[in-house]
Amino acid sequence: MQLVTSPSKLQKICLQWRCDGSTVGLVPTMGYFHEGHKNLMRIAREKADKLVVTLFVNPTQFGENEDLSTYPADHEGDAQIARDLGADILFIPDAGSMYAKDHATWVDVPQLAKDLCATSRPTHFRGVSTVVTKLLILTLPEYAVFGEKDWQQLAIIRRLVRDLHLPTNIIGGELIREKDGLAMSSRNAYLTPEERAQAVHINAGIRAGAAVFEQGEHDVEKLKAVIRAHWQRHLPLGKEDYLEFIDPDSLEPVTTITDKARCAVAVYVGKGRLLDNWPFYL
Ligand code: PAF
């Protein structure tokens, strides 16, 4: 595995691969790998001749008082994992090489980046869309794999790739959970033991709603009430950021489930803001 830090070097290698007829699979990450990341790498490894993993804690997707400076990191451990999973390149650029001092170009998908995570993180998806576009242009991959935990992010990336005619197939990697159901996230590292014990109820609450849905309740307000009641009882350290039922593709809110809805949530627990989502499909 080659460690690459320069965007132009990455682009040169990937262009050469493309000219040679090799396909590239891209897994963009912010590092501190867990099973969720490994799953994305395995998917890309299987699909393409070359695997490029990127590790960049992208400053433009963090708000002013967010965790940019404290985001967990373990470059050595990550490099070992990427190597073990067959990555050809691990790309670790610095912020200066990704964003020129007078950087002035942004990619935005406002129609999908207006609610859910965007309510508390209004500039987040502009940063994500911009850096992902840069990474796709640098590597021109046949496939790029993103986790379904960030459901809104995945929908936005699919849309921008379609709208900009980028020559990449976007693949969603399933949300990987801890044994007790907590969605895996690098930010779980922020949790104290007590917070970690309660955080499991983010998902348990959603599943309590799903059980009522299976019994025939399709009214979203009633399902939300079941989930919130569970959180109130079992997750006193948590503070809801949002709990929404949305159309899985358009992300528009759903009030009665007549076909497919995704329950998407974000909950603050201690220093972490944790995401989860779950299918409510008829
Ligand atoms: O999901 C992430 O880890 C990041 O948002 C991404 C897609 C790597 C862009 O920085």
**For 88-132, how does the pLDDT look when each residue is reduced to its tens digit (9 = 90+)?**
999 999 999 999 999 999 999 999 999 999 999 999 999 999 999
pLDDT digits 0-9 by tens, 221-233:
999 999 999 999 9
Residues 162 and 236 in one domain: no
Single residue among 150, 173, 196 that ends a domain in this structure: 173
Q: How confident is the model at residue 201 (pLDDT cuts 50, 70, 90)?
A: very high
Q: How confident is the model at residue 243 (pLDDT cuts 50, 70, 90)?
A: very high
Q: Which residues line ligand 1 (CB under 6 A)?
A: 28-30, 58, 61, 128, 131-132, 146, 150, 153
Indicate which residue's Cα is closest to atom 9 of ligand 1.
128
Residues 47 and 152 in one domain: yes
Neighbours of 38 (CB within 10 A): 18
Asked if residue 180 belongs to a domain, the reply is no
CATH number at residue 262: 3.30.1300.10
pLDDT for res 140: 97
Ordered DSSP codes for 261-277: EEEEEEEEETTEEEEEE
d(CA 145, CA 47): 10
pLDDT for res 196: 98
- Domain assignment of residue 139, given as a range: 2-173
Percent of the chain with pLDDT over 90: 100
Candidate of 27, 126, 150, 158 to mutate for ligand 1, largest count of ligand atoms within 8 Å of Cβ: 150
Residues 77 and 119 in one domain: yes
Mention every residue, 6+ apart, whose C-beta is less than 8 A from residue 98. 7, 56, 58, 131, 134
**What's the structural domain count of the chain?**
2
Residues 121 and 195 in one domain: no
d(CA 72, ligand 1 centre) in Å:
14
d(CA 130, CA 149): 20
Residues 135 and 237 in one domain: no
Percent of the chain with pLDDT over 70: 100
d(CA 179, CA 150): 20
Task: Answer whether 191's CB lies under 8 Å from 177's CB.
Answer: no
Residues 43 and 88 in one domain: yes
pLDDT for res 180: 97
How much is the mean pLDDT over the chain?
98
Residues 195 and 248 in one domain: yes
Single residue among 152, 173, 194 that ends a domain in this structure: 173
Asked if residue 19 belongs to a domain, the reply is yes
Single residue among 124, 141, 173 that ends a domain in this structure: 173
CATH number at residue 113: 3.40.50.620
Asked if residue 123 belongs to a domain, the reply is yes
Return the active site residues: 37
Asked if residue 88 belongs to a domain, the reply is yes
**Atom nearest to 132 CA in ligand 1:** 9
pLDDT digits 0-9 by tens, 39-89:
999 999 999 999 999 999 999 999 999 999 999 999 999 999 999 999 999
pLDDT digits 0-9 by tens, 124-174:
999 999 999 999 999 999 999 999 999 999 999 999 999 999 999 999 999
| pTM reported for the whole predicted model | 0.97
pLDDT for res 159: 98
Asked if residue 179 belongs to a domain, the reply is no
Indicate which residue's Cα is closest to atom 1 of ligand 1.
29
Candidate of 125, 132, 175 to mutate for ligand 1, largest count of ligand atoms within 8 Å of Cβ: 132
